[in-house]
Amino acid sequence: MSDDVPALQLLAPDGTFRARGASEEFVPYIEALDDEMLRAFYRDMSLTRAFDIEATNLQRQGEMALWVPSHGQEAAQVGSARAARPQDHLFPSYREHAAAMVRGVDPVDIIRMLRGLTHGGWNPAAHGNFHIYTLVIGSHALHATGYAMGILFDNELRATPARKSTGTKSSTKAVNASDDNEAVIAYFGDGATSQGDVAEAFVFAASYRTPQVFFVQNNHWAISVPVSVQSRTPLYLRGTGYGIPSVQIDGNDVLVSYAVSTKALTAARSGEGPQLIEALTYRMGAHTTSDDPTKYRSHEEHESWAKRDPITRYEKWLRSRGADDAFFAEIAAEAGDLAADIRRRTLALQDPVSDTIFDHVYSEPHPVMSEQKQWLTEYSESFGDAS
């Protein structure tokens, strides 16, 4: 890592828990978690890894046009998504499979998109407020920000004059009230930080003091271009320039991701405005199944990150806290079943009917859609007799 200040970290790559300096304040967030939740983090990461490997295989076997691997980035995603409350809205890019699964998206719905069956895949309102993937880099940062503006405006509308005049930080009651408030997470990568839409999102968020967290997964590469081409300063300093409190974390440490995200989301939902987290992580695989990373990055770099694998590290720590072989065997079996189920259901997917070209382009009747849909039906039927 090229940075002067060490990133916040609770779990060292060797699996030891050690909170130093600025990281110390995050220990209580972890102490508040029970074993069940701590094990859920492991399960989330492992199932996502299994899904990702199976999907990569399916792509290699010609079952998908493309796959976008998440391998290596599970801790950043699981920690932040687990920190979100049910009412929160998450706006992903296209690599956030772990966050998607935490929020209840069916992995096969992600596959449906990459298999060419749909441009979306799920209804966010019915899937943990996890929005659909966006392929135009950075665009969704503005949608997230607009959504967060809406939350803010709604809160103001709902606030009674009495509550409005109450001091903001005075009582426990106020804190409880803010627990129910909604917040937003926008996920994007290091490359996306160069996009105008991300810069504009920072401007709007800071200007309106929106309840949201910008979660930057700096996996050090934008396809084949290293992060040094995007920025000469650590990316989190960008946020600071917009007046957005910003921190850098070890993105392969699920505990620090969870703790720092929880703090940032709490600040956002309590009226302290937008926050930014830069999670230092690494894309262990190719950008997508269409490229060969050995063409642009070194074996040494890859190996150095392999030593910081988020799941291996976390497994060591869980074992040190008493998780036994039976637990890990159980998760491994579940992961295997999940992969098999995903394969079976992927192979059973049906192509969409041609009507879907026209349906939903508009939400209200549209003469051109009706005409062209009817034309296509008649045209298709005109071949009926010949066959």
Ligand X SMILES: Cc1ncc(C[n+]2csc(CCOP(=O)(O)OP(=O)(O)O)c2C)c(N)n1
Closest alpha carbon to 51 in 101, 92, 90: 101
* Residues in the chain, overall count: 387
DSSP code at position 83: H
Of the residues 23, 59, 145, 219, which one makes contact with ligand X according to CB under 6 A: 219
Annotate each residue in 159-188 with x if it binds ligand X (CB under 6 A) or - if it does not, as one string. Answer: -----------------------------x
In the complex, least distance from residue 49 CB atom to ligand X, rounded to whole angstroms: 17
Residue sitting closest to ligand X (CB): 189
Could you say which of other proteins, Mg ion, ligand X, none residue 287 binds, taking C-beta under 5 to 8 angstroms by partner kind? ligand X
Q: Which helix (H) or strand (E) holds 218?
A: strand 212-218
Closest CA to 133 of 105, 92, 103: 92
Which residue from 10, 18, 26, 35 is spatially nearest to 253, judged by alpha carbons? 10
Q: Which residues bind Mg ion (CB under 5 A)?
A: 189-190, 219, 222
Q: Rounded to whole angstroms, how far apart are CA atoms 241 and 232?
A: 14
Minimum distance of ligand X from residue 113's CB (angstroms)? 14
Convert residues 223-262 into a mask of x (bound to ligand X by CB under 6 A) and - (unbound): x---------------------------------------
Residues 137, 188: contact at Cβ < 8 Å?
yes
Active site residues: 283, 287, 296
Instruction: For residues 122 and 120, give the distance between their C-alpha atoms in angstroms, rounded to a whole number.
Output: 6
**Which residues contribute to the site for other proteins (CB under 8 A)?**
118-120, 123-125, 131-132, 136, 139, 141-151, 153-154, 156-157, 196-197, 200-201, 203-204, 207, 356, 359-364, 366-368
Nearer to Mg ion, 219 or 252 (CB): 219
Nearest residue (CB) to other proteins, 75 versus 276:
276
Candidates 39, 71, 95, 263; binder of ligand X (CB under 6 A) is 95
Task: Yes or no: say if 89 and 184 are a contact pair by the CB < 8 Å rule.
Answer: yes
Q: Which is nearer to ligand X, 223 or 329 (CB)?
A: 223
Contact 254/10 with Cβ under 8 angstroms?
A: no
**The one among 10, 108, 222, 254 contacting ligand X by CB under 6 A:** 222
Q: Is the Cβ–Cβ distance between 15 and 320 less than 8 Å? A: yes
